[in-house]
Amino acid sequence: MPELSTPQPARHPDPTAKAQRLAYLIWERPDLDRAEAFLNAFGLVTVERTADALHLRAAAAAPFCYVVRRATAARFAGFALEVGGRAELEKLSRVNGASSIEPLSAPGGGAVVRLRDPSGFCVEAVHGQASYPALPVRHALIANTADAVPRVNGGQRPPVAPPDVLRLGHIVLEVADYQATSGWYTRHFGFIPSDVQVLPDGSPAVAFLRLDRGDVPSDHHTLALGQGFAPRFNHSAYEVVDLDAVGMGQRVLREKGYRHAWGIGRHLLGSQVFDYWNDPWGDKHEHYCDGDVFTADAPTGVSAASGASLSQWGPPLPASFIRPKASFANLADGIRHLYRSPDLSVRKLLMMARLTG
């Protein structure tokens, strides 16, 4: 088995705070109508719309999980982590570069501290948001198997409609400064590495990080960090009720003319049944169900990285899924980070390129 030759990712013995959930994502878009149409078809529900912003929610008892702000250009603007109390916000406000504690001017209220990680991503630590009533969702379909046949004299007829999104599950980011960024999240938000995939030299290619909630099971990953050429958003993921909801999401989005990214398949690490779709600006959104959960005492797994290691079954991984878009700006960004990041080298870039075929 490969060994991890670098100090991160690793648990921190005394983190500043412990994140309790991924609260919401923040986006900037030039067209709120196009953004809302995709997100509604994907299964999110609009809870507030103004001339300059959209707030959308899932079925969970939280005020919103997705923010879209009007801007001249499309970009991922950051994300929020809920922490356990006001005392943790106070500690986070003393982290280098953090804001003071401020009121959160959004549905549900609460308080927020704004930080920026070593890769430049904006992270909002929030606490005290009001709990909203959960939205009704259909029950998971009852499956007949060779061992048990609970459904007799009846068929399965899920509605032809956008799937019920239960909650925002995880995000995946690519970073150039891998060690500093991974260490920042384990130190300040208490993330635990569930699985680490490593390159042939033993350095991490991607780490799947889960929340530390003690004996309460947490998703295999709420945040994943991949070694990349430059900081960029890779995808966000949303839990749905069951496999039929994943399939119905594909039907609805395909019929509405949206662009498919990858799926349906089952991941190897985390075990989720997945399906990925591009929004109108090419950012990947994943429907998933049936993911693994772990308590805080589960050890970290280490395995070799490869394109084939991302799924147990399903269509082949498209090269475009993990390769940056070919452009002069991306090339220039990659060269700049190659010269300044301690985690990048020409040799490592060649190893990463071989993995993506």
Per residue in 176-192, pLDDT tens?
A: 999 999 999 999 999 99
Q: Which two tokens stand for residue 317?
A: 């991984």
Q: Is 330 helix (H, G, I), strand (E, B) or coil?
A: helix
Region 316-330 average pLDDT: 72
For residue range 119-154, what is the model confidence (pLDDT) as tens digits?
999 999 999 999 999 999 999 999 999 999 999 999
What pLDDT score was predicted for residue 258? 98
Exposed, middle or buried, 95 (CB in 10 Å: 0-12/13-18/19+)? middle
Lowest mean pLDDT: which of 84-98, 206-220, 303-317?
303-317
Instruction: Give 336 or 140, the one with higher predicted confidence.
Output: 140
Closest to 159 in 3D by CA, of 241, 238, 239: 241
Assign 337 a pLDDT band (cuts: 50, 70, 90). Answer: confident
Strand intervals (E) in 4-84: 19-29, 45-49, 53-57, 66-70, 75-83
Structural domain 19-131+162-355, CATH architecture: Roll (3.10)
**Predicted local distance difference test score (pLDDT) of residue 3:** 64
- Angle, CA of 241, 245 and 248, to the nearest 5°: 165
243-255 helix and 32-42 helix, angle to the nearest 10 degrees = 140
Asked if the model's pLDDT at residue 326 lies above 60, the reply is no
Please determine, for residue 263, whether its predicted confidence score (pLDDT) is greater than 80. yes
Strand, coil or helix: what is 93?
helix
Question: What confidence score (pLDDT) does residue 356 get?
Answer: 60
Position 1 pLDDT exceeds 50 = no
The SS3 of residue 347 is helix
Q: What is the pTM of this model?
A: 0.95
Q: Which residues pair with 339 in a beta bridge?
A: none
Q: Using alpha carbons, list the distances in angstroms from residue 116 to 77, 125, 207, 309, 338.
A: 11, 11, 20, 31, 21
Sequence-ordered alpha helix ranges (H) in 256-327: 319-322
Per-residue pLDDT reduced to its tens digit, 201-246: 899 999 999 999 999 999 999 999 999 889 999 999 999 999 999 9
Q: By three-state DSSP, how is residue 36 classified?
A: helix
Percent of the chain with pLDDT over 70: 94
- 20-24, 136-140, 331-335, 338-342 — which is least confidently predicted? 331-335
CB contact at 8 A, 250 and 256: no
| CA dihedral of residues 86, 89, 93, 94 (deg, nearest 10) | 90
Check: CB of residue 206 under 8 Å from CB of residue 225: yes
Q: Cis peptide leading into 335, omega within 30 of 0?
A: no
Contact 48, 56 (CB under 8 A): no
Average pLDDT, the chain: 93
* Nearest-5° Cα angle at 198, 15 to 189: 15
Collapsing DSSP to helix, strand or coil, 326 comes out as coil
CB neighbour burial string for 166-203, b if at least 16 within 10 angstroms, e if fewer: bbbbbbbbbbbbbbbbbbbbbbbbbbbbbbbbbbeeeb
pLDDT at 324 over 70: no
